[in-house]
Structure 1
């Protein structure tokens, strides 16, 4: 869940980065009493995300600025559509403009890409999920954007669940032990409430991993990593609904439908956050001439 605390932390850091000692250009070129109105306009179609983040960039810069959102997060929009309107002191509007746009363009790009993946697997029952391949410091925003696009979130952090990947298993079995025993010993002290996921990269690893669970701590998810389509089908059949089956590795819009058709429950896609293109949105600023000294504002 994207909280006010998450938003404040990111927006304040971004504003401090962009205007650490104020906005020199606006301070010297823009009259102090100038008032502006600005429309957030879509230059291309997409799915909206980040309305509260966009608004926070302006209100943290100047609390007298008002932001009226015309669309809600998760809503689709068309090219040319006005998504929000900003009104208030022109200096503050211009100071916050770039931070507000950077964040909302990024979030809308992720939401739009996610929606394409979700559409591609519609009717299969497969869930599209993100990964931890997020921009450092922006995870809460980017994962909210995934949800805006109809996707789901994987574990939020390393603290949320046990996820044994190939490197973990290599260390566990370095002394020559088998995967089943090594996993069972390692998980024996784990609270029964913890979710356990294990990554496999071969079909013959599935049964040994499943055997590591017991009545207290069970394997909840097996990730089939970089499996061929045929091996995904075989893996799903072998697991036979005993645990959640996740597919991961090399997933693209061209391949995701075929992967979903194998019967996997979850498809995790790192590209949702690490490769999403910022959507083309613009802020069209106009001057409220009646409330200024008459000096122009640069758009």
Structure 2
């Protein structure tokens, strides 16, 4: 089990051996995002842009216009908030071949500080026309996503986390934009996750099984585009659908599932678990997951409460 940022940094080096047009632009965070691995291997193709993310994105768009494949390196919050205008104007509107990698995403960077937490990024980037939005679950999926992104022209927002995450994707995986994956079959309820949160839902599945609750676990790595038909197929027949994400309950995975279900006339009970319209804070990882109801234990307890209420009402 490796930290996702280490996997990303090494994969850039590997991709660069066969793609001589690959370059990396960093916002003075290479030792944190692990883009420093690329800087050491290919110093002439690494550009240290300083704490100037708007300029970084503009330079990346310019490099893309001349045939390079720029991968950008910074924390998610600095791209989706500080540099949003150039992403919109220079990358998305021009369909520039720029890969925007938001590292240190989600809740689990509380030790870095409240100001660095980004729990609105998926909503922001989902609403951006021409932007592909991806949140891989683990090392295997991240590597497959990077292979796809490097060989596919167009803007990509890739959300990765700082720390190690459990391996849940089987070897030999190939990423397909929009694909939805059923990791566990179940007949009673459907659990829907994205990014590393899906790994916690597998633990929820196991806990619910002890009480005789059959839960499907559905993984959505690509929030835009999305295979709507496949998502509806996997959710069909479940009276209760539960989404869980290290993101605001507004506009992310829960919003995507709600939009899909209501647009197609399906109306199961939907529980959206995430950050409930509040800010993050500076705190340890386990505390943050527990406080916001995203630990396996808290999700399991919430589901059991919902199921118990349905039986008695």
Q: Could you state the TM-score of these two structures normalised by the residue count of structure 2?
A: 0.31
Please identify the structure whose Cα radius of gyration is greater.
1
Higher relative CO (CA 8 A, sep ≥ 6), structure 1 or 2? 1
